[in-house]
Amino acid sequence: MSLLTRADPPRSEQSVPPRTPWGIGHIVGILASSVLGWVIGGVLLVGVMLRNDQRAVSLNTGLILTAILYLVLYAAIVIVIRSTGGWSRLGYRFPGWKTLLGVVAFLPVWFGILFLAGFASAFVINHGQPIPSNVTDLFGPGGLKGLGPTTIALAFVVAALVAPLVEEAFFRGVLYQWLRGHLGVAPAVVLDGLLFASAHLVSGVAGLWKLLPVLFVMGCILCLTFQRTRSLFASMLLHGANNGLAIVALLVTMNR
């Protein structure tokens, strides 16, 4: 029995993926809101950092601005998708406790796959050396160890709660379902995974491009999780658990 179970739709529905009520114009509208939010947030963050030399304070402000950006993007998703009458199609359906427990049980396999993806890509991208952590680029020379509890809490909320909420709504709920309706499941999974990985380059973190193969694998597995369960709650749980456990692992490692 599969760890991620679902009630299978009729075979006729499986052979022809349904088209979404939203189209490319709606997706472009959501993306335009995202770009506008990044520009406004970036300008505000630069202004604050120029006025304050303390990295921790600037980082707190940056995390808050990032959360606001995500929530503005989520508001755009809500407004645009509701305007198409397709909110019920987005994927907010409870998959059942058995499926959610299956997602939790899948976590060791998930991390094993990501480890293998990172190990394999290191030979191609980084001359056989392990891909260096981007914690320094994200949090400064001291990494998470040099930050206070408020900053760590903000980082956890943004990475493990806000980011999975918004990214799953857009990449799996909006984008993947639209791609699936036009291309079919397999091409949609691959293309959505590529777009999900590439979108992380917007953060501007140096060296993050070396993690693109791992992010691509993540995106593909999250698509398959959503495809299997038909629920954003399942892919959000997997995404949030990954980010949250990654922060916990960094904290434990750096405090040894």
**2-57 pLDDT, tens digit each:** 445 444 444 444 455 789 999 999 999 999 987 887 787 677 766 666 666 555 45
Q: What are phi and psi of 142, to 5 degrees?
A: -85, -5
Q: What are phi and psi of 244, to 5 degrees?
A: -65, -45
- Quick check: is 220 in a domain? yes
- Looking at residue 126, the DSSP 8-state letter turns out to be S
H helix or E strand, kind and range, residue 179: helix 177-183
- Structure token pair of residue 137: 């680029």
Question: pLDDT digits over 110-142, tens only?
Answer: 999 998 988 888 777 766 666 655 555 566 555
- Quick check: is 62 in a domain? yes
How many domains does one find in the chain?
1
- Quick check: is 6 in a domain? no
Q: How far apart are CA 104 and CA 98, in angstroms?
A: 10
Instruction: Give the range with max mean pLDDT: 28-37, 183-192, 209-218.
Output: 183-192
Which of 10-14, 79-83, 252-256 has the lowest average pLDDT? 10-14
- Quick check: is 2 in a domain? no
- Quick check: is 31 in a domain? yes
For residue 192, count other CB atoms closer than 10 A to its CB.
25
Q: What is the 3-state secondary structure (H, E, C) of 96-122?
A: CHHHHHHHHHHHHHHHHHHHHHHHHHH
- Quick check: is 4 in a domain? no
When pLDDT is cut at 50, 70 and 90, the band that residue 232 belongs to is: very high
Q: What is the pLDDT of residue 7?
A: 45
Domain range for 169? 11-254
Which of 69-83, 109-123, 170-184 has the lowest average pLDDT? 109-123
- Quick check: is 73 in a domain? yes
Listed in sequence order, the residues at least 6 apart from 67 whose beta carbon sits closer than 8 Å to its beta carbon are: 154, 157, 158, 162
- Quick check: is 5 in a domain? no
Q: What is the pTM of this model?
A: 0.85
H helix or E strand, kind and range, residue 212: helix 212-229
Return the amino acid letter for 243: N
